[in-house]
């Protein structure tokens, strides 16, 4: 069974039509909703964490951006650990590197984020 937790704050339900048609459960909720996160991680073997608010959002709403991108990620990690999720796969942004020192950036490149968004993504890498 595939369950998708979607906030839809920046997206559209129509973009998920193919997944829903293939039998995925669509749960519209906020990643900051700890009760919902706890309930979903109790049923999960694997968590793919792709939720975040983007760099433009971070410029106008830095506190909310950090709350969603960093704090909620930490809570999701904790719920996953507590509920014995086997794998936690986290997708982050190249913004953690700031202005890259060289082309062909790899995970060995030093991180130097220069936005609230990049900083929240960088902190998430350390946690996961």
- The domain locations on the chain are 3-127
**CB 80, CB 47: distance < 8 Å:** yes
Q: Per-residue confidence of the chain (128 residues) as pLDDT tens digits?
A: 566 666 666 667 777 777 666 667 777 788 899 999 999 999 999 888 888 887 788 889 989 988 988 899 899 999 999 999 999 988 776 666 666 676 777 777 777 766 666 667 666 455 44
Structure tokens at 55: 């760099």
| Separation of CA 96 from chain center | 14
pTM over 0.85: no
Residue 100 CB partners (closer than 8 Å, separation 6+): 94, 109
CATH topology for 3-127 is: Rossmann fold (3.40.50)
């Amino acid at each position: 069974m595939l369950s998708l937790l979607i906030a839809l704050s920046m997206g559209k339900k129509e973009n998920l039509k193919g997944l829903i048609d293939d039998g995925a459960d669509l749960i519209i909720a906020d990643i900051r909703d700890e009760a919902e996160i706890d309930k979903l991680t109790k049923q999960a073997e694997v968590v793919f964490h792709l939720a975040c608010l983007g760099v433009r959002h971070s410029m106008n709403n830095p506190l909310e951006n950090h709350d969603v991108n960093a704090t909620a990620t930490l809570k999701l990690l904790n719920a996953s650990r507590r509920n014995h999720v086997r794998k936690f796969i986290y997708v982050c942004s190249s913004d953690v590197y700031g202005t890259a020192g060289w082309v062909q950036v790899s995970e060995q490149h030093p991180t130097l984020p220069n936005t609230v968004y990049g900083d929240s993504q960088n902190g998430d890498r350390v946690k996961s």
